[in-house]
Structure 1
């Protein structure tokens, strides 16, 4: 072929796009082999711990995401290492969603045991509520083990060509992994049975579905172990109901080491699943939650305070308490039941209703760990009780004072104001200051006696008897959520404010003119 200038060009065949990509991949793989070879000793040394292995292997599975590690993941990793050592054969971990629990328990840990831990003969039976989740984690582990990085460091762990499918694969050292949805756990055995979220959020509240899951757990899982004494069962899940798999393990007193990681720290002791829990008491292998401040976040580098508050609003008190705080309470209620309020929503209170607004003041300066709440409760002429309005805030100091004063101005001076008085001189000074702030209103500050549950029981009795009504308002859902979670929910301020108002209403007082008593929100 000649050009316009008469020069002759030789015929050259350019590589195809596919060939170019293949060559780039080959060069990248070669570069990775050389890098690993140069750094193999350091990598193997770091991978002696599960945490180190996750850090080194992370780019293989999540090349575009940053690994956010912290003490909660370190705690989970150390509990899994205890299973590997044989110190634990039954492990129950409860933690919020989004904490990398599936990757850590169902992907990295089995791969770590096959490779760095020198246990390529281990056989895993893994399960979740859905086949999709099972295949997802099976595929990720297989991809990790087959990666150039893993094979360069632990070449003795090779996949068997005879069995290498998404649902089940084996290695040449007799190790294997099989995944099954939880509803199909009959058949299959393992040295490790890993149960990752046996319930779905959609079915956990269905009594039929939940009982079926519990039946499978109790009747089938122990039969899936290769060795009943030395093989391990690992359950990792968020709490969805008091009667879920975790609740069953705890209620029956099954010999599981329990690692519980709530999103926000709750100082104890408190009651959960029928037991008194003290967060400062170590579990069976000595773990103690390192947090000490009420409301302190689990992993703020990943879940900021702003993000957590957004979750609370989006999910509501009930879902947040279970999935994030690991403190599920039946949606139908504990001390208060939601059904008691069916048909009890009214547009306004009748004339002649006598009102009290009681304030429950935050007990900590950390505005995000506790709330101030003011509940306006009325006594109607027929003797029934009416929750007229609720206001709450997580602010502190001057903003709380401004809220209390502003709410009093809206309520009017016919609404009595009730305040708690903490014991000691500081409590008296605070009470005096608040009463002075509210000069011109009827204000009463007095000490509270008994615990929160004891104080709430009289109001609960009236609710159960059908004697309590609620004025319709945007605050209704949050208020009912907290009532029906009580005493298991993270917040108790609205309940405590209601108890205070109820107690004050029942005490003798000067008569209130009917013209003032008709005022309502």
Structure 2
């Protein structure tokens, strides 16, 4: 048996992070192949430099989802760092503790393999090492925590932040501000030696004010931004010994094997332009009124037959001129297309709202009436239930109005929402779309968001209070 190649490979894995990371990938994904691209080479090169401390102490890596960033940076890099120096202390952060623990278990799995112990005999962790934190026999450790977690008394040499905000919270200003405050006041203060410690932040972009956005505006971070489709010509360093680089030209795909152009185009259609530009192109659009574009709506001349008729109701509590409007949207849902048939919008007191809704129900015979279960809507739900109408109590969750509409906007962009070519109420609806989210009122938008949530969600997620017989 020729052992020289094995010894050479072992020596390479001890010194070259990407070679080591490839072995890690095979260990935790035995039935999958790791297609190493030039982008993995540049990520590995800069991550290894940042982890070593010195000239790069703040590194941002922005790239599309499912690009092996977590395997490289949250799983392989801590094992590599602790193998080369078992006294190092590494903190790894993700938005969810379960996810963070999962990465920690994979690192532990790697560090307990015979091949890892052969490579780094001085780095030993207990056989029953805990998930959230385990120590080497030389006093170093790896700690897993989540965004907002307690780090009192904990300090590290290397902090790795991997997707610190879940996608559902990306459009929540409260969630973004909470993350930024925690990062600045808690996490970033945990470096033991501020002049030698390093922080690596990796994520798919989600919003212009996500954590990457905040950090990039300081001008103190090195940014490796890797859009799925290149929009500028840029050269990326792959190594310095020997010196190698990759020239990426406009239009070049990041991973043409896994995500060719037709796949990316399909993703853009499914996600909508705003989400695709953020998550795949690393170029989030500013939320300055572009949540919904009028050009996304299609028009119709005649309603199709069949389907179901759905009322989407947004209630206001009072009828004053400064208060919101009450809205009843009459929709026809046919073959995954939503046709707006009629829009009733008034400032009225509760009795007139109820009376108008009942009149419209007699005219259009709705299969469903959607009403948010809060404020005056709760009373309306109960009254209509008692009278046998097919009411559905709608629960929008914790997201704010803008966030909910952003999530639904992809359906509009995909051409699934149709407006009549002409209607007396159409212009005011279009004006509210243009002004959102900066307009004085958003009642029609709320009713639209509610309708789309119902139309494209599993029907058992809506609690049907009653059917009219």
Q: Which bracket does the TM-score occupy, shorter chain normalised?
A: 0.5 to 0.7
Cross-structure match for 2:142: 177
C-alpha distance in 2 between matches for 1:256 and 1:287: 23
Q: Residue 111 of structure 1 is aligned with which of 68, 79, 89?
A: 79
Q: How does 1:358-369 map to 2 (within 5 A)?
A: none
TM-aligned CA deviation for residue 153 of structure 1: 2.6
- Cα distance 1:346–1:300, how it changes in 2: closer, same or farther (>3 A)? closer
For these two proteins, the number of residue pairs brought into alignment is 306
Cross-structure match for 1:91: 59
Say if 2:76 and 2:107, in contact at 8 Å, map to a contact too: yes
Q: How does 1:230-241 map to 2 (within 5 A)?
A: 230-241=196-207
Cross-structure match for 2:247: 290
C-alpha distance in 1 between matches for 2:160 and 2:414: 43
Q: Residue 157 of structure 2 is aligned with which of 186, 191, 194?
A: 191
TM-aligned CA deviation for residue 297 of structure 1: 0.3
Cross-structure match for 2:230: 265
SS of 2:248's equivalent? coil
SS of 2:205's equivalent? coil
TM-aligned CA deviation for residue 338 of structure 1: 4.0
C-alpha distance in 2 between matches for 1:173 and 1:282: 34
TM-aligned CA deviation for residue 339 of structure 1: 6.5
Cross-structure match for 1:246: 212
SS of 1:127's equivalent? strand
TM-score, scaled relative to structure 2: 0.59
Cross-structure match for 2:166: 200
Q: Which runs of 5+ in 1 are unaligned?
A: 1-33, 269-278, 349-471, 485-521
Say if 1:185 and 1:216, in contact at 8 Å, map to a contact too: no
How far does the alpha carbon of each residue in 1:318-343 deviate from its partner, in whole angstroms, 9 at most, with x for none?
A: 1110000000013554xxx347859x
TM-aligned CA deviation for residue 475 of structure 1: 4.4
Q: Residue 27 of structure 2 is aligned with which of 60, 68, 77?
A: 60
- Cα distance 1:287–1:315, how it changes in 2: closer, same or farther (>3 A)? farther
Cross-structure match for 2:116: 150
2:40 is aligned with 1:73: yes
CA RMSD, aligned part only? Answer: 3.4
How far does the alpha carbon of each residue in 1:34-54 deviate from its partner, in whole angstroms, 9 at most, with x for none?
A: 99x775412222212111112
2:200 is aligned with 1:221: no
Larger Rg: 1
Q: Which runs of 5+ in 2 are unaligned?
A: 302-411, 419-429, 435-469
TM-aligned CA deviation for residue 136 of structure 1: 0.7
TM-aligned CA deviation for residue 345 of structure 1: 8.2
How far does the alpha carbon of each residue in 1:10-52 deviate from its partner, in whole angstroms, 9 at most, with x for none?
A: xxxxxxxxxxxxxxxxxxxxxxxx99x7754122222121111
Cross-structure match for 1:314: 270
Q: Residue 259 of structure 2 is aligned with which of 300, 303, 324?
A: 303
Runs of 4+ in 1 over 3 A off after TM superposition: 37-40, 279-283, 285-289, 330-333, 337-342, 344-348, 472-478
Q: Residue 101 of structure 1 is aligned with which of 61, 65, 69?
A: 69
